[in-house]
Amino acid sequence: CRIVVLISGSGSNLQAFIDTLHGRQANIVAVISNRDDAFGLERAARAGIPTAVLSHRAFADRASYDQALAALIDTHAPDLVILAGFMRILTAEFAHHYQGRLLNIHPSLLPKYPGLHTHQRALQAGDHEHGATVHFVTEELDGGPPILQSHVPVLSDDTPESLAERVRHTEHRLYPLAAMLYANGRLRLLDGRACLDGAP
Ligand code: GRF
């Protein structure tokens, strides 16, 4: 399974892919960032994975950036495209082009808290549990069919940072697991739903 990973920042999820999947069930054939200062680029380079930077600043609008991004991704002929902290809203055209082979991880128990500041919002709501969701990407922001979720408790003395760290720790197991299921043919998007092992 050929994987292209898109990042904008630290790339701790990318690191989890490198440590658990890369060169085994799957090959990360390229890491692409929209920012040249993303630390994840260094993680990729250290693992010997080709990197590319495509800055959105050079493009007039979202549509032209997404077209160029898709063209770049497709030179690597991926089976699966992984959004790992890629901080851009994608056009519907982009989502359609990769329908069924584009995954994202979001730091909340979707459908709760799409968008930003999820940890702060969970704390403010007084939630007792929080977590992360891996989902297929559709044109709806953080709205595509969920695949797997991790759950963590919210503790009484949590700050957004402590809660974020607890959630991120689970992401590093959850996200490679979803990709592994995909690579092994056990996960597909079927009729708009995530289908695991043939079970809807
Ligand atoms: C994670 O919190 C993930 O849920 C969100 O972006 C963050 C990426 O972190 N989509 P990292 O760059 O993988 O460390």
From CA 66, how far away is CA 75, in angstroms rounded? Answer: 14
pLDDT tens digit string along 126-168?
999 999 999 999 999 899 999 999 999 999 999 999 999 999 9
Q: What's the gap in Å between 11 CA and the centre of ligand 1?
A: 7
Residue 9 Cβ contacting ligand 1 at under 6 Å: yes
For the segment 182-197, the average pLDDT, to the nearest whole number, is 94
Within a domain: residue 176?
yes
pLDDT at residue 141, as a whole number:
86
Mutate to test the pocket of ligand 1, among 89, 171, 173 (most ligand atoms within 8 A of CB): 171
Within a domain: residue 131?
yes
Within a domain: residue 199?
no
Within a domain: residue 29?
yes
- What is the number of domains present in the chain? 1
Q: Could you give the ipTM of this predicted complex?
A: 0.96
Mutate to test the pocket of ligand 1, among 105, 141, 172 (most ligand atoms within 8 A of CB): 105
Tell me which residue of 99, 95, 81, 100 sits closest to 195, measured CA to CA.
100
Within a domain: residue 107?
yes
pLDDT at residue 25, as a whole number:
87
Within a domain: residue 198?
no
pLDDT tens digit string along 25-76?
899 999 999 999 999 999 999 999 999 999 999 999 999 999 999 999 999 9
Q: What's the gap in Å between 107 CA and the centre of ligand 1?
A: 7
CATH code (residue 97): 3.40.50.170
The confidence band for 200, taking pLDDT boundaries of 50, 70 and 90, is low
Within a domain: residue 200?
no
Within a domain: residue 132?
yes
Active site positions, annotated: 106
pLDDT at residue 109, as a whole number:
98
Range of the domain at 165: 2-193
Q: What's the gap in Å between 159 CA and the centre of ligand 1?
A: 17
